[in-house]
Amino acid sequence: MISRGIWQQKCRNAIRRWLRSCAAQTSPLSPSPVVSLGNSSYIGFCSQPIVSRYAMASFSMVNDKLMDLNIPYSIKRSCFSSHALLDLPASGIVSIPLAQTGEGIAECELLKWFVKEGDQVEEFQPLCEVQSDKATIEITSRYKGTVSQIIYVPGDIVKVGESLLKMVVEESQGSNLTSNAPDDMKSMGAEVCDSSIQSSDLRHSNTGGVLATPAVRNLAKQYGVDINHILGTGQDGRVLKEDVLTHAVQKGLCKEPSSLSVNSVEHFQGEEKYSHTLAADGWQYEDKTVPIRGFQRAMIKSMTLAAKIPHFHYVEEINCDALVKLKASFQEENRDPEVKHTFLPFMIKTLSMALSKYPLLNSCFNEELQEITVKGSHNIGIAMATPHGLVVPNIKRVQLLSILEITKELARLQQLALANNLCPEDISGGTITLSNIGAIGGKFGSPLLNSPEVSIIAIGRLQKVPQFVDDENVYPASIMTVNIGADHRVLDGATVARFCNEWKLYIEKPEQLMLHMK
């Protein structure tokens, strides 16, 4: 405020001097002189640049008196403000951290990047894809700007809260991050941000790291060298793979460059190389260490817990002749080419009907509180083998769905699982699990519980076997073997047997299902 008053007083004094000189002349006033108060630019502590203010000074001179004239003048003034810029780091650099992706998630695996260094990013644009123990999630940008540094490479494990990348925010966001600042000072802050982008976009000292691709950074990490200490020979100082290899040789971290030219470059290009040597007794291959990632880590945790649970297994054979005819009838009457009828949706629906009579199998056990929670919804999980590991999404509220609705929902979950795009809602909240191991092979399996659930069912392969009738004649029958695994702390054998008999009844006599469906 003091500085502004001083400059305004100087302006008024300059105008008075100019008017006096005009009054001393006999000729009329010359139009529109511009008063400039020097060429200096002044920036307050809030890092705001100078803005030019234009005003119209009205004077009049008639008979040696002032007359009306519109005289524009410009004043370059300094702006001092006590309003600090909030949340805007120096040079407009912001870090994009890995946010909390779900309850109990402490780290995620980085699967892939959708952007690269130097890319322009819009607000809410997907940046990368990460996978936790429960789901695959896309991380989006909160800002609009330019990617200056990518910190991790695909395959790395990132802790929640750690920075995934750094961005140079766009100029408009520099003004948006100010708190209660005048409008003119906000617009001026954008110009400072813009100038800092142009001057520091290609300098690693301001962008928080050197320019290099994620693959080059991974190569530097393998040799244990700090990429910030490597002099880049690429465009704009970008570090190339040759720079990393040369630096590693100079530090004595590896052998001659000629020996690196084949093995290191091949590894850099992502080619798996299985080296082997000829021994006296034949070929010998090197061991390969495979890190545990994604859903496989969740399976390890779940199976470790399941190993501590006392299991009880009950095996039964079910005649599926009626089910085979029903499926064939569904397929013949199908008018939707996107719907493919299988046995599994019918098995899921009949399972839900049996759970309505024996709800204890649709419960969860809390060992710490010594409590059993009987679940109201039948959220039946379906174990699916995918290229990314075993995953168990569940169909919500099966008791309220028709067989056709179950078919469509099952197809949706299968497509998402194969694409590794299941969301946390798809794989959480399960109450009982169904494993269709027979779709791959095998008569039956002995499943392990998906804690805290208290029951799981494995379905074997449907096969034709000879069966005897009462008159001792033999006929072919479509037989399916099911194996029910139960938590023996909660369920006893008699309860599981009665439940299986009820389920078997609905499968062998589908007309009974029609009587009880709502």
Q: Which residue type, as a one-letter code, is found at position 185?
A: M
| Burial class of residue 31 (count of CB atoms within 10 Å of its CB; 0-12, 13-18, 19+) | exposed
CA distance linking residue 359 with residue 499, whole number of Å: 9
Please name every residue paired with 277 in a beta bridge, in sequence order, or none if there are none.
284
Which residue is associated with the tokens 């084949």?
Answer: 262
3-state secondary structure of 404: helix
Q: Choose the catalytic residue: 87, 276, 492, 516.
A: 492
Q: Which residue type, as a one-letter code, is found at position 56?
A: M
Phi, psi values for residue 240, rounded to 5°: -100, 170
CA distance linking residue 345 with residue 348, whole number of Å: 5
Phi, psi values for residue 426, rounded to 5°: -75, -25
**Which tokens in the block code for residue 77?**
């003034």
Which residue is associated with the tokens 């330019």?
Answer: 146
Please name every residue paired with 380 in a beta bridge, in sequence order, or none if there are none.
395, 432
CA distance linking residue 420 with residue 298, whole number of Å: 14
Q: Which of 124, 120, 108, 284 is nearest to 197 (CA)?
A: 120
User: CA–CA distance from 112 to each of 156, 331, 375 (Å)?
Assistant: 10, 40, 38
> Is position 83 annotated as part of the catalytic site?
no
Largest CA distance in the chain: 138
> Residues, the chain, total?
518
Contacts of 173 (CB under 8 A, 6+ apart): 88, 143, 144, 145, 193
Contact status, residue 112 vs residue 152, Cβ threshold 8 Å: no
Contacts of 249 (CB under 8 A, 6+ apart): 255, 256, 257, 260
**Which tokens in the block code for residue 75?**
């004043």
> Is position 388 annotated as part of the catalytic site?
no
Contact status, residue 460 vs residue 281, Cβ threshold 8 Å: no
Per-residue 3-state assignment (H helix, E strand, C coil) for 93-112: EEEEECCCCCCCCCEEEEEE
User: CA–CA distance from 502 to each of 160, 317, 499 (Å)?
Assistant: 47, 13, 5
Contacts of 365 (CB under 8 A, 6+ apart): 371, 372, 373, 452, 454, 487, 489, 490
CA distance linking residue 130 with residue 106, whole number of Å: 13
* E strands present in 218-310: 276-279, 282-285
Q: Which residues are catalytic?
A: 488, 492
